[in-house]
Amino acid sequence: MTAPRTHLPGPGKRLPVSTYRLQLGPDLDFAAAEAALPYLDALGVTDLYLSPVLQAAPGSTHGYDVVDHSRISDVMGGRAGLESLAAAAHARGLGIVVDVVPNHMAVPTPAWHNRALWSLLGHGPGSPYAAWFDIDLVGSDDGVLMPVLGARIGDVLASGDLVLDRMVVPTDPDAGEQVVLRYHDHVFPVRPETEHLPLAELVERQHYRLAYWRVADEELNYRRFFDVGTLAAVRVEDPEVFDATHALLLELHAQGVIDGFRIDHPDGLADPRGYLRRLHEATGGAWVVAEKILEADEELAPDWPVAGTTGYDAAWRLHALQVDPAGSAPLAALQHELTGEAANLAAVVEEAKRQVVATSLYAEVHRLTTLLADICHADVRLRDHTFRSLQDCVVELLVAFDRYRAYVVPGEAAPPAEERTLREAAEIARTRLDPDRHDTLTVVVELLLGAEAGSAGRTGEARRAELMVRFPQVCGAVMAKGVEDTAFYRWTHLVSLCEVGGAPARFGIDPDELHAWAAGTGAAWPATMTAGSTHDTKRGEDVRSRIGVLAEVATDWVAMVRSLREATAELRPADIDGRTENLLWQVLAGTWTEAGPIEADRLTGYLLKAAREQKAWTTWTAPDTAREEATLGYAAALLEHPAVVEAFTGWVARTAEAVRSSVLATKLLQLTVLGVADVYQGSEITQTSLVDPDNRRPVDFAALAGRLEALDGAARPAGLDDEKLKLTAAALRLRRAHPTAFVGAEAGYEPLPTTTGHAVALARTDADGPRVVAVAARLGAATASAYALPDAAVVLPDGTWHDVFTGDTVPGGSCRLGDLLGPRPVALLERVS
C-alpha cells in the first residue's frame, strides 16, 4: 500500500521525526520553553509540539479557551516570545508544531475579553462578527442566551445584584466610555438606545438574554464544545471566518516560525474534511495531525489531507498488549462484588448516553428535533411525523451510534461506509422504538443521508442541509460526554483500559494484532503520530502500566482488596459508591510507588472529579457534598492506614519487575512502532499523573537535563526513572539518526518472528532494508520463566546488529531471548553498516 501524497507534507515542508509536547501556560511560558531547548535537543527530539499559543481567557491554564485569534498569548510572552523560541529551536534544527483550536472560542468573564463576542452581544445581527458564532439570531426575540446568573432573573432584578455602570472597555478603547450591565464579575454591553429605560425593560431589550445558569442545558441557543457553556462554537466553515481566525497562525507559518499543526477536535466542525482541505491548501501541505478519536474497528477517512491522528489509536493498543486476558474473570468478579452490577459494558454505555441526552445535552437534542419538525411541517408528505416521534428517533439514533460521527456532506452522495454506519445505528434504534415510530425513523435516516424523503426535489433545501451538519456534531458530543466522560468513569473492570480513544471491551490484544495494525496503518499513514500520555488522558502512561499489571496477578489483587476492605471497614462510609471504591483501589495501585502514595490532595482531587463525572450519586451541578466529604475522607485515611501502607508497600515490591517490564516495553514500542513519536512533557521518566489538571503540573527540566547528562557519562541507571530516560533518549536519537526508517514514504514495518507470546519484536526499514530492531517483553509477571526456556527465541534480520544499551554486537538470525534481553525487558538494535 502506498500512502496518498496528501498524507505526507508537501514539497519543502518539514516532516517531524519525533515531537515533545509542551503544555504552555503561566508555569511554562515561551522563555522557559526556550531555556529547556538544550535538554530537549540532547534528548533527541526533532520538534517541539506546543499547546495553543493564541490569546486565551484570563487565568487559562491550558489555552483551549481562545478569546483573540489576532494575538499571541501575552501571558506566555507574546509574538516576540514565540518568535524567539522558534528562532532558537530552528537554530538547533528543531521544528515547531502548534495546537490549533478551530471549533470554539471562550465565553470569558468579563465578556469583553472576547472582542468578537462582545460585539455580537452589543450589536446582535448587525455585528460584523454575527456570522462567526453558531447561532441563528434571525427571528429570535431573546438573542444569545447568557446563562450566568446565580438565581432566576426575577430574583436577580429584585436583589439589586444587576446594575448599570460606565467604563472604557479595554478591547474597544476607541469607543470611549460605554454603559454596561454588571453582575458581580460579569460585564455586558448595553444597546445605546436602551440606556435610559427601566432596568427590567432594559434587560429585555438587549441582543442577549441573561438567565439562570440551570437554564443552559434546556434552552441554550448556541452550539458549544460538548456541554461546556463557556466555549461557544465558531462557524469556521465560513471562508471569511476561517481566514480571520487563522490569519495570524498562517502568517507565522508562511514566515517560517511555525512548521506544522495539530488540530483540536475536528469532529465538532460542520465539515471536517472541508476544513482540513482548506488548511492543507493554505499551508501548502504542512504536516498536520487531527485529534480524531477512532473506535477499535474504525479507520481514518482516507480523503482527509492530514498526516494522521494524534495517537490515541496507538496508545490503547500498546497498553492492551500488556494486559493479560486471564485476569478478566477475577477482576469482573471483584467489580460485581463491589458494585453489584453485572459485567455488561454495553449496558453501562447505553445508560450513560441516555442520561447525557436527557440532561446536559438536552438543548442540542431539542434543537435537532425542532429542525426536523420544521422540515416535516414544511412538506405536506411528511407533516404527520410528530415532534415527539421525531425526538424519540433522534434520541435512539444518538444512543445507538457506536462512533463519534458519520461523514456525510450536504450536496454529495453519502460514501458507502458512512451510509452503512448510519444504517447500522438505525437498525439498533429500530429494535428500541415502538413499531409506530419505524416509519418516522426511516424518514429521519433518509434526511440525514441527504436522500429524497417526502416530496421530490427538496434535497437541496437549506434546513435539510443544516440537519445533515448538526446531527453529526451532536452525535460526537454524545459520544464524548456519554462514553468517555461518563461510562468510562463508571466501568471499573480494569480502569486503565477506560482511556480517551480506548476500547475497554478489548481486554488485551496479542502481538499479531498489533503487528497487523501497525503495518497497515504505517503503510497508509506513514507520518501519523503515536502517543503514550497526552494532556487529555485520564491517567498517564505509567499509571496505566501499574494498573494493567493487576490483570497478570488478578487473584492476588482480589485477595488483597478484600483483606484491606475488611481491615478498613470501620473507616469506610456505609453508603460509599461501589464504582467509586473500586476505582479508588485501582488508582492507589497505579500511583503507589517505592516513594509511597501520592499526596492526599491530588488523590482526593482526582477522586472528586471522577465521582462527579460518573454522574451517578453526585454531579457537578448537584453535588452530594456530605457523601463526597465522607468518601474523600476515607480515601485520604487509606494513605496513612497501617494495614494499607504495609499491603501496598509489599505490593509495589512484589510487582516491581512486572511494572518495570510494562513501563519500558510500552515506551519502547511507542517510540518505534509507527510514525511520529510524541513524548508528553516529563513522561521520559515515570510519572504518577492523573487526569487534568494533575497532568499539567510543572516539569523540572533542569533536573532532567542533569540526570540525562549523568547517564550520558559513566553513571549507571539508579532505578526505573533512569532506565526510562535512558531508553527514551536512545530511541529518539536513533530515530533522528535514521529518519527515513521511521517516517515518510520509505519507512517500513517488519514483524519479527518470536517463539513465545511473552515478547514482541519488529524491525523498522528504509529503502536499504532493516535499520532498527526493537524487542519488548510483554506480560512481565511471567516473562522471567518464559525467557529461561531454551526455545524462547527471536529471529533477527540478516546482518550485524549493535545493541544500543549494552554496546554488544549481535548477529542476525535466530537469537535466544534470554541472551538478547538479559536482565532487561527491552532491546534496541541498530544495524551495523
pLDDT tens digits for 129-152?
999 999 876 656 778 999 999 999
CB-based contacts of 478: which residues, under 8 Å, 6+ apart?
A: 353, 356, 357, 361, 398, 399, 401
pLDDT, tens digit, 9 for 90 and up, residues 224-240:
877 788 899 999 999 99
Share of the chain above pLDDT 90, in %: 92
pTM (two decimals): 0.96
User: Exposed, middle or buried, 583 (CB in 10 Å: 0-12/13-18/19+)?
Assistant: buried
pLDDT band at 5 (very low <50, low <70, confident <90, very high): confident
Helix H or strand E segment including 718: none
pLDDT band at 789 (very low <50, low <70, confident <90, very high): confident
CA distance 388 to 403: 25
pLDDT, tens digit, 9 for 90 and up, residues 207-265:
999 999 999 888 888 888 777 888 999 999 999 999 999 999 999 999 999 999 999 99
CB-based contacts of 503: which residues, under 8 Å, 6+ apart?
A: 295, 296, 316, 320, 497
CA distance 495 to 446: 39
Checking if the pLDDT of 833 tops 90, the result is no
> DSSP string of 59-116?
T-SSS-SEEEEEEE-TTTTHHHHHHHHHHHHHHTT-EEEEEE--SEEE--SSGGGSHH
Half-sphere exposure of 598 (CA within 13 A, CB side): 20
Predicted local confidence at residue 501, as pLDDT: 94
Predicted local confidence at residue 783, as pLDDT: 64
The three-state (H, E, C) secondary structure of 248-311, written as one string: HHHHHHHCCCCCEEEECCHHHCCCHHHHHHHHHHHHCCCEEEECCCCCCCCCCCCCCCCCEECC
**Cα torsion 517, 518, 521, 523: sign:** negative
| Radius of gyration from C-alpha coordinates of the chain | 28
User: Which amino acid belongs to residue 555?
Assistant: T
Q: Are 451 and 412 in contact (CB under 8 A)?
A: no
Helix/strand number for the chain, H first, E second: 30, 24
pLDDT, tens digit, 9 for 90 and up, residues 598-640:
999 999 999 999 999 999 999 999 999 999 999 999 999 999 9
The better pLDDT of the pair 216, 90 is held by 90
Angle of helix 239-254 versus helix 272-283 axis, rounded to 10: 40
Checking if the pLDDT of 546 tops 60, the result is yes
Predicted local confidence at residue 686, as pLDDT: 98
Map out the domains of the chain with their CATH numbers: 5-103+236-310 (3.20.20.80), 111-233 (3.30.1590.10), 351-486 (no CATH), 554-654 (1.10.10)
Predicted local confidence at residue 703, as pLDDT: 98
Closest alpha carbon to 531 in 685, 317, 723? 317
pLDDT, tens digit, 9 for 90 and up, residues 519-539:
999 999 999 999 999 999 999
Q: Are 16 and 676 in contact (CB under 8 A)?
A: yes
Predicted local confidence at residue 790, as pLDDT: 76
Predicted local confidence at residue 220, as pLDDT: 82
396-400, 436-440, 459-463 — which is least confidently predicted?
459-463
Predicted local confidence at residue 566, as pLDDT: 98
Beta strand 769-777 pairing with 826-831: antiparallel
Checking if the pLDDT of 784 tops 80, the result is no
Any idea which residue has 535466530 for its cell?
Answer: 814
CB-based contacts of 23: which residues, under 8 Å, 6+ apart?
A: 51, 62, 535, 681, 695, 696
The better pLDDT of the pair 136, 308 is held by 308
Helix H or strand E segment including 780: none
Helix H or strand E segment including 769: strand 769-777
Checking if the pLDDT of 1 tops 50, the result is no
User: Which amino acid belongs to residue 351?
Assistant: E
Q: What backbone torsions phi and psi does residue 418 show, to the nearest 5 degrees?
A: -70, -40
Predicted local confidence at residue 139, as pLDDT: 56
The better pLDDT of the pair 791, 195 is held by 195
CB-based contacts of 680: which residues, under 8 Å, 6+ apart?
A: 21, 531, 532, 533, 534, 535, 540, 541, 695
Predicted local confidence at residue 785, as pLDDT: 63
Q: What is the mean pLDDT of the chain?
A: 95
582-604 average pLDDT score = 98
> DSSP string of 639-651?
TT-HHHHHHHHHH
Closest alpha carbon to 153 in 208, 190, 98, 114? 208
778: which 3 cell numbers?
Answer: 510483554
CB-based contacts of 70: which residues, under 8 Å, 6+ apart?
A: 55, 247, 248
Checking if the pLDDT of 572 tops 80, the result is yes
Predicted local confidence at residue 136, as pLDDT: 73
Checking if the pLDDT of 576 tops 50, the result is yes
Closest alpha carbon to 307 in 110, 482, 476, 521? 521
